[in-house]
Chains A and B, each alone.
Chain A
Amino acid sequence: MAHECHNYRPITSRRDFLGRMGLGLGGVALASLVAMKPPPGPVARARRIIYLFQSGGPSQFELFDYKPLVNQMHGEELPASVRQGQRLTGMTGFQNSLPLARSHFDFAQHGQSGAWVSELMPHVASIADELCFVRSMHTEAINHDPAITFFLTGSQIAGRPSMGSWLSYGLGSENDNLPAFCVLITKDKSGQPLYSRLWGNGFLPSLHQGVQFRSGADPVLYLNNPEGVSAKVRRRMLTRLRELHELKAQEPGFEEIEARIAQYEMAYRMQTSVPDVMDLSDEPDHVVNMYGPDARNPGTFAANCLLARRLAECGVRFIQLFHQGWDHHGGLPGGIRVQCRETDQPSAALVTDLKQRGMLDDTLVVWGGEFGRTNYCQGRLTDEDYGRDHHPRCFTLWMAGGGVKAGLSYGRTDDFGYNIVQDPVHVHDLQATLLHILGIDHEKLTFKHQGRRYRLTDVHGHVTRALLV
């Protein structure tokens, strides 16, 4: 079969990919049916993912992982038997004392499922029965850069394709006029930096890289033709440019030019498609208001959630939002309050809005950060103020829609919230599960690069079937 060929030849367009595969995933089936029956693969449950990435590491202790014992033992030292000598960061590794810090915020059980959610997330709590909480996420990295890179590309070391690029490569676009992978970042936030490799295509053809929309009123610049250039002139210019590109593309070693041609064409089509998506004039007020007061302020998390829904409606495969500012080493109660006010209502509204449009059946929404936070305090512990350090051994993430079990709280941490005692879900497991939900076997979506086949989950990952309906 052609895709078994060991020669390096990047797949430059979806058409090419399909051509080689026969017909995307269907083509693999065709080819394999003739030869031998492959092991059963996943059947698609969803068509797209909206990933609400909370950069910095939201504290599970103040949001979703209720730990009465930590509250009781407030101020007492973290028992060594719990920590078991596990590594700490350089920020608290030299602290004389590691006092347990109770959550400043109250918890309650919500919905029929009885999921524990804190008072910081009242809107999310109100849709608890739609959500699937994974309280037993764990990762390998303890600092932001490797952790977020690991989460989104499957490797702590930069350079691998991101999750959205893999999906674009594997499934292609459902809309020729918009990129299959769009990235929206909340404006005016600070905190841990975000960088384009988090939505980069790595060694995949550059067609599959995420397209970052600017945070603000003009998410894509220069959509309008400059003064004196009519649409017709623009089209002729691009056609001629394309011809030149095609000449070059015929020379060996210039395959990436195919991607360049495709991107020029995409940019041309985006001149009309993006203004359509951005134009909120057809959104009724009650829908916009559902996303909260920030929804009409472009670039805010609320506005981005609304935009994400609109992009999803247009068939964008992977929409990745980033919201910075969850890295609360100090001043946690005040800081997390602001973060929650910015994200709680829009996140819940997005799920609700998708549901009433019938889109939650085939859209998976994911909400979470790159790791969790410690049960002990970083810095000075007072009744009103404290901080928490990075904690990779357990954290909480929630999902909604896309064939995951609604109203499920999966996994359990110990009473100290330090280690996982039941059903751990590794980052690679989550990645495998996300691909599975979109109908992809994570072990089969590979790309040959520098003599070796790569995949999002490297050589790890198991689909967490218990999360799926």
Chain B
Amino acid sequence: MSFIDNVFSSLRPELSGDAENRARERALDGAIRFPLLSLIKSSSVWLVIATIFGLIASIKLHSPGFFADCPILTYGKVEPLFWNTLVYGWLFNAGLACAIFILTRLGGRSGAPTTFLTISIVLWNTGVMLGVIGIMAGEQLPYAWLEFPSFVGPVLFIAFVGIGLSCLLTFHARVYRSSYVSQWWILAALFSFAWIYTAAQVMLVCLPAQGAIQALINSWYVENVFGLFVAPTAFATILYLIPKTLGSHVIGYKYSAYAFWSWILFSSFAGVSDLSFGPIPVWVSSLGVVASFGLLLPTTTLSIQFLSSLFRKFSVIWSSATARFLLAGSVIFLILMYYKIFGSLRGSLATTQFSQFDSGVDLLALLGFAGMVFTGGIHFILPRLFNKELPSSTIVDLQFWLQLLGVMLVSIGLISGGVLHGELINESIANSIAVVTALKSGFFLTTLGMFFFFLSSVCGVVTYFTILLSNRVEAEQSVDLINEAPELEYTAP
């Protein structure tokens, strides 16, 4: 029975000590504790499920006999299951957890109707689960990242609108009237996803567009899920946690608006460059290439902001799990944008277009950049929600290194393997067996990386459930466990 007691004590902590200490923060965290916990729990569990699917899919690439007799685990099902659980299961839950925490903290008051928000979150995860079952049952749709059967679309949409409305109410209820750049990014992400999901569902599922337009809409949607939802939420998280964990202002904050507007403008067009050489007019993909290249502008501003702020307080990075994840995410962001910008040019696409290169870059974006940042954010949030310490910093350490190693192996395997892949299939006498044999080492590397990533996701689940179920020790019964944050130091230049 002690587990149940511990859960109750985790969910409704009765703390002793000075009631004035962090009174406002504790009230805020208490108001959003339950929805945030359900988001973080879902994200951790979905990550484990997603990495299992990813592991099976990557094993099937070099050993096609693996699970060959299992009709619900064919490559054609496992591959979309992996991407969809990764995006809608893990990243949306983790990103929305960070977003709600940031909006509540920066606004200084929680306006979210907790029950309504929790129901929306449960509905979202039910939708994802129905989608997974649907794909396993063979009901999948043929569009990348939209493979969930058509009845899941409205469920996810209603759930997202519910979560988004709660976020908007929280923003509306804020007491600090000035806004911070994280709030801009989060609001942009919420509105953008509602729009792109509606547009894609209507034009691909309800009233399907004809012919090549479908491919156009699909690649626009896939790029925008990253560019207009996942990346903005990750930017918001980095930009909030930099002053929070480092105790210094964001360098070059004055130019945030340039980065914000140019990112929104360019990334919404960038996806269609994938279709160069495809059956669409040349000017469409040219627009996509120029828009991808335009991302150089926000990338420059944002990476200078992130990296120079982080390097200025480099010593903190070794004594803070969160800042460590942020640094890894920021460095990966720079590498990722290099591949995205220069990979969209026609010269690169001539080699990489039909290869594994794109999956490598997408995984670098999702697992490496956004995943690192959200995991860092969750490590910052969890102790504050429970008023408990992270159960073991060794596990946190392990999770960080496994995740970094996994991302490196997966992306090296798929990106450099993808370039080789493209070169081989471009040869006029391409022999497909020879191509697959040549790519095997890259696929083995990917499998190894996915395995490390799976281990790191297990670390995440262990952290979550241990902190939820562990006994509250004496220090954790006091409100003095977490120190009150000082004022941000700043002297005008």
User: Does A associate with B in a complex?
Assistant: no
